[in-house]
Chain A
Amino acid sequence: MLETKLYESDIRPDWCPGCGDFGALSAVKNALASLEIEPHNVLISSGIGCASNFPGFIRTYGHHGLHGRPLPVAVGAKLANPSLTVLAIAGDGDEYGIGFNHVVHTARRNHDVKLLVLNNEVYGLTTGQLSPTSVFGQRTKTTPYGSSIYPLNPLSTLLGVGATFVARGFSGQVKQLSELIQAAIKHRGFSIVDILSPCVTWNDIYDNVRSRMYSLDTVSHDRTNLHAALDRSKETEKIPLGIFFQNEDSPSFDELLHKTVNNRFPVNEVKHMTEEEKKVAISIFS
């Protein structure tokens, strides 16, 4: 295991004291140190919002981009340099709202990028509006009488579109979360870890989560069984934590691409075509 101080930034997170995202930050550092992935080989791609301020609070390469778009940036970077460990870290607004299209298709194509969603079930940085995962009845600035909209279930949805690794963690349980993130990084292809990460200012769900959560490791759950995973993901009374589903038989998009087109990355090889390639390139011109 590497020392976690390797990943220490000199920038103090601007999250509210007690924010769940601190736990997620510790878990990510611990996971990278445990897997001995050096900071310069890690790229964290984020969007916009409290959770997406993540890059810079941890010393790795970072791309702090646009709202909802962490995944396509991550996908491009991973294709260009397969030796990088590429994480997309963002909130529920980013990933389950404006950018959910990308989540569906990145999962479907099984890109080798790891999505960690810091899910606080509310729009935090814009001062507390209803998010796609806000629960029925939740009072927010946009639902002063309580929400009449049922929330998106990200886990069952992603199981439905063919995600090959689906897990849920809780930022109040750093050790277990780190283990989930490690498993996600080691997974062959796309993985999603939905991380319940309470917002102490707009939606403090710490007690609620603690009172309802249980670990899938404590029940006999077969993570290779898609139907069992779907059943667990649909639970509403209790909150299962852990790996719902994992399929390691499907090759990742990146594996298939590198096998079929033999793309010669990384990039110290930017050069003109060979004579042979030139002939191919203009064969269509006559």
Chain B
Amino acid sequence: MTDKDITIRLGAAAGDGIQSAGEILTRMLSMSGQYVCTYNGNQSLIRGGHVWFHIHAGNWRVTSLGNGIDYMLALNQIAFDEHIGKINQGGAIIFDPKTVKAGTIPAGVTPIRLPLTEIALKYDKRPLMKNTVGIGALAALLGIDRKEIGEVIQLQFGSKGKQIVEGNVNAALEGYGLAAKSFVPTKSLEFDYSKKRMFTHADFALAAGAVNAGCKFYAAYPMSPASPILHYMAINAEKMGISVLLAEDEIAAMCATIGAAYAGARAMCATSGGGFALMQEALGMAAMNETPIVVVDVMRAGPSTGLPTKTSQGDLNMMLGISQDDFPRVIIAPRNSEETFNTMGRAFNIAEKWQVPVIVLLDFGIGDGGYSTVDNLDFEEPIDRGKLLTEVGDEGTWFKRYELTDDNVSPRVLPGTPNGMFVAKTDEHDEYGHDLSDVEAGLQHAVEKRVEMMNKRMGKLTGIAVEMNLPEVAGPADADVTLVSWGSTSNPIREAMRQLWAEGVKVNSVEFCDLFPLRWKEVAKMLRKARHLIDVESNYTAQMAGLIARETGIMIEDRLLTYSGEPLEPAEVVEKVKNVLKKEIGVSVRNKAL
């Protein structure tokens, strides 16, 4: 089997149905045994503007967006103009000459002129099905079996009735027939119709993983790109018995999550950076009263409102420093949908075992904005609720909820348990949860207890670090260049390394999924083995490089950074590595549209 892959892009105005067209095509490819990775170039509007959908598919595990565009469907002028220059040699662009005026078409790119609107109007009063005709045409270029078309359209539109399904199938088949006649494909895929692959984005994967981990309480206020998590929970609330609270704001969402966790539920809330800023005081509360919660930030480009539908990894510093004074927090940034699903059981276990807030960082690129194949979902991560007591002896007025122990974790009891009464305090408190902050503040015993309590809470980090995963090293142990990344930036790096290896370049990567706390001495040892380090991430100040410098003293000065809102492409990583090998060292910044 030879490695084969292809890139496809669909462009139109918002409201033209490009999202569902992209999904149909992604589904067709997945049902034909392909691995997929997609990116949703959408805008913060409902109608008009320009939106596009990019698909990279292949018979090998694609992780990123591939290189350029092989086949393009342009439903309006701006889609044509904006993307024509990115089409690869040997590629093709499908458009309707009635709606799109083709300017100069680069040599080596084949224009395929099809009467998309005219065909669409045969099956409906409105020309909406022109995207379905286009899907049929693309399917023909890809060489997908015609039979797949009916099956997938049935899946997508089945709920809308027989007439709509039939109209769409016929429209697609007509597009298929015309395109097959007018173009001889230059690039092909290797299909295996017996392999039906699943795909999803990290938002849904996170929600499903959380529910499998026993999460029965979810609270949120809508915010892009975290809203799909809320939608997933709402859709599945009845079948899974999940209490879903659409709160009045993010402060309430976070506080209700803490209330639910305090009362014993595995509870979670999610938002994006702006909402997280509102949650910050309560994040400190969870750490102070040692209530286990999982909080999710699906990052988008900021600052402030920023670019609501564009991607970024700009919130790491925020997560490291959010809320007043020092308290233990755990930060995990899964790299893709599959890893996100498989992380959630661990996230809840760490939260409950160590009685701390656990932050999961996703970004638009792998969250709401991008699908990827999920092959290996681990449903069996054991549930560990830590020191959770189900009964308590009658030992006095109050339960020693914040008892000082060797591992800094105190036995926990849930409201409703006889003899277990205590006060979960945000004031500094003694072992029973009583104030050290008012009538005792400043007294010798209270001063000593305050120090003990700070040591207890912060001491958890040492124990947690032992359980956290070290970064994964991908590629050969012996490499001239080592790429350092966290979360989703490992995806373009993986594809870039394939190309570089094929050209004989010795390159590997160190990819952080667990970010904090870590066994930093071991991390330092890993990084010191590298001959030349390049930090790759999606923010202005190289925030991960900053964390690494803070914890290990290793300063990575060679960097590939993007804060354009667009995800990194493998080609840019390739270029950066080659430049470094030519001794062109320094900070490189991306500013191209995808």
User: Are B252 and A261 interface neighbours, CB within 8 A?
Assistant: no
Residues of A within 8 A of B235 (CB): 284
Contact (A267, B265) CB under 8 Å given A63-B289, A72-B252, A73-B255: yes
* Among A45, A75, A77, A262, residue most surrounded by chain B Cβ atoms (within 10 Å): A77
Q: Do B415 and A79 touch across chains, with their CB atoms under 8 A apart?
A: no
Most buried by B among A38, A62, A76, A286: A76
**Any A CB within 8 A of the CB of B183:** no
**Is B198's CB within 8 Å of the partner chain A?**
yes
Residues A196-225 near B (CB distance < 8 A): none
Of A53, A78, A101, A267, which one neighbours B264 at CB under 8 angstroms?
Answer: A267
> By DSSP majority rule, is chain A's interface helix, strand, loop, or mixed?
mixed
Q: Does B552 belong to the interface (CB within 8 Å)? A: no
Instruction: Looking at the assembled complex, report how far the CB atom of B80 sits from the nearest CB atom of chain A, in whole angstroms.
Output: 32
Contacts of B242 in A (CB 8 A): 261, 263
B 17-42 binary contact with A (CB < 8 Å = 1; else 0): 00000000001001100000000000
A263 touches B285 (CB 8 A): no
The yes or no answer to B294 lying at the interface (CB within 8 A) is: no
Interface residues in B, total, Cβ within 8 A = 82
A76 touches B258 (CB 8 A): yes
Q: Which residues of A contact B216 (CB under 8 A)?
A: 80, 263-265, 267, 270
- Pairwise interchain contact A79-B256, C-beta atoms closer than 8 A: yes
| Cα distance, A264 to B252, chains bound together (Å) | 23
Are B416 and A76 interface neighbours, CB within 8 A? no
Assuming the contacts A63-B289, A65-B426, asked whether A81 and B415 have C-beta atoms less than 8 A apart, the reply is yes
- CB-based contact B208/A282 at 8 Å: yes
Whether A61 lies near B422 (C-beta < 8 A) is: yes
Q: CA–CA, A262 to B420, complex, Å?
A: 28
Any chain B CB within 8 A of the CB of A1? no
CA distance A56 to B398 in the complex (A): 9
Within 8 A of A (CB), among B371-415: 374, 377, 379-380, 383, 385, 390, 397-398, 414-415
A280 to B240, CA, bound (A): 9
B237 at the interface (CB under 8 A from A): yes
- Chain A residues near B217 (CB, 8 Å)? 76, 79-80
Q: Contacts A61-B422, A284-B204 hold; do A80 and B259 have CB atoms under 8 A apart?
A: yes
Quote the shortest CB–CB distance from A98 to chain B (angstroms): 10
Interface flags for A246-286 (1: CB within 8 Å of B; 0: not) read 00000000000100111111111011110001101110111
Contact B421 A77 (CB under 8 A): no
Report the minimum CB–CB distance from B439 to chain A (whole Å): 5
A65 and B255 within 8 A (CB): yes
Q: Which residues of A contact B211 (CB under 8 A)?
A: 273, 277, 281
Residues of B within 8 A of A48 (CB): 426
A80 to B415, CA, bound (A): 11
The digit string for A31-52, where 1 denotes a CB below 8 A from any CB of B, is 0000000111101010010000
Query: Given A39, A74, A81, A105, which contacts B421 in the complex, CB threshold below 8 Å?
Result: A39
* A81 CA to B265 CA, complexed, in Å: 8
Binary interface encoding of chain B residues 407-436 relative to chain A, with 1 for a CB under 8 A from any of its CBs, else 0: 000000011111111111111000001110
Where chain B touches its partner, the secondary structure class is mixed
Does the CB pair B423–A64 fall under 8 Å? yes
Asked if B415 and A281 make an inter-chain contact with CB atoms under 8 angstroms apart, the answer reads no
What 1/0 mask marks residues of chain B from 55 to 81 whose CB sits below 8 Å from any chain A CB?
Answer: 000000000000000000000000000
Whether A59 contacts B438 by the Cβ 8 Å rule is no
The interface residues of chain A lying within 8 Å CB-to-CB of B238 are: 260-262
With A53-B435, A84-B263, A272-B212 in contact, is A257–B383 under 8 Å at CB?
Answer: no
Interface assignment of B362: CB less than 8 Å from any CB of chain A: no
Q: Is B251 an interface residue (CB 8 A)?
A: yes
Shortest B301–chain A CB gap in Å is 27
Complex Cα distance, B251 from A102, in Å, reads 9
Asked whether any CB of chain B lies closer than 8 Å to the CB of A69, the reply is yes
Cβ of A273 and Cβ of B240 under 8 Å apart?
yes
A231 within 8 A of B: no
**Quick check: B420 and A40 within 8 Å, CB to CB?**
yes
Q: Is B282 an interface residue when CB atoms closer than 8 A count as contact?
A: yes
- A235 in the interface (beta carbon within 8 A): no
B453 at the interface (CB under 8 A from A): no
* Interchain nearest-CB distance for B19 vs A (Å): 15
Closest to A280 in B: B239
Do residues B243 and A80 form an inter-chain contact, with CB atoms below 8 A?
A: yes
- Residue A9, interface by CB 8 Å: yes
Q: Is the CB of B239 within 8 A of A64?
A: no
From residue B352, how far is it (CB to closest CB) to chain A in Å? 9
Q: A77 and B262 in contact (CB under 8 A), knowing A14-B438, A101-B248, A273-B240?
A: yes
Q: Interface size for chain A: under 10, 10 to 19, 20 to 34, or 35 or more residues?
A: 35 or more
A10, A45, A62, A264 — which one has the most chain B CB atoms within 10 A of its CB? A62
Contact of A69 with B255 in the complex, beta carbons under 8 Å: yes
By the criterion CB–CB under 8 Å, are B397 and A9 in contact?
yes
Contact across chains for A74 and B259 when beta carbons are under 8 A apart: yes
Task: Across the interface, name the chain B residue whose C-beta is closest to A278.
Answer: B379
Measured between beta carbons, the chain B residues less than 8 angstroms from A66 are 255, 281-282, 285, 426
- Does chain A have a CB within 8 A of B260? yes
Contact of B377 among A261, A265, A282 (CB under 8 A): A282
Q: Given A62-B424, A72-B251, A272-B380: A261 and B263 within 8 A (CB)?
A: no
Verify A77–B259 contact, CB threshold 8 A: yes
Question: Which B residue sits closest to A70, measured CB to CB?
Answer: B255
Q: B381 to nearest A CB, angstroms? A: 8
Q: How far is the CA of A84 from the CA of B424 in the complex (A)?
A: 16
How far is the CB of B239 from the nearest CB of chain A, in Å? 5
Query: What chain A residues lie within 8 Å of B253 (beta carbons)?
Result: 72
Contact B438 A69 (CB under 8 A): no
Partner of A40, one of B212, B248, B266, B419: B419
List B residues 239-296 near A (Cβ within 8 Å): 239-245, 247-249, 251-267, 281-282, 285, 289
Separation of A73 and B263 alpha carbons in the complex (Å) = 10
List, in ascending order, chain A residues with CB within 8 A of B196's CB. 286
Of all chain B residues, the one with the shortest Cβ separation from A273 is B212
A61 is contacted by which of B239, B247, B415 (Cβ under 8 Å)? Answer: B415
A60 at the interface (CB under 8 A from B): yes
The 8 Å CB contact of A69, one of B236, B282, B439, is: B282
Tell me if A271 and B214 are in contact (CB < 8 A): yes
Q: A270 contacts which chain B residues (CB < 8 A)?
A: 214, 216, 266, 383, 385
Closest Cβ of chain B to A91, distance in Å, is: 15
Question: Given the interface contacts A257-B243, A270-B214, does A284 sit within 8 Å of B232 by beta carbon?
Answer: yes
B215 and chain A: residue at smallest CB distance: A270
CB neighbours (8 Å) of B360 from chain A are none
Q: Say yes or no: A77 contacts B260, CB within 8 Å.
A: yes
Q: Which residues of B lie under 8 Å from residue A79 when comparing CB positions? A: 217, 243, 245, 256, 259-260, 265
Q: A78-B263, A278-B212 are in contact. List 17 more A-B contacts (CB 8 A).
A: A40-B417, A48-B426, A63-B259, A64-B426, A66-B282, A72-B253, A75-B259, A76-B262, A76-B267, A80-B216, A80-B263, A261-B242, A263-B241, A270-B385, A278-B379, A285-B200, A286-B196
Write 13 A-B pairs (CB below 8 A) sorted by A numbering: A59-B421, A71-B252, A76-B257, A76-B261, A77-B263, A83-B416, A101-B252, A102-B248, A262-B241, A265-B265, A266-B416, A281-B240, A286-B197
Which B residues contact A (CB, under 8 angstroms)? 27, 30-31, 196-200, 204-205, 208, 211-214, 216-217, 219, 232, 235-245, 247-249, 251-267, 281-282, 285, 289, 374, 377, 379-380, 383, 385, 390, 397-398, 414-427, 433-435, 438-439
Across the A-B interface, the 7 shortest Cβ-Cβ residue pairs: A76-B259, A76-B256, A267-B264, A72-B255, A62-B423, A73-B259, A76-B260
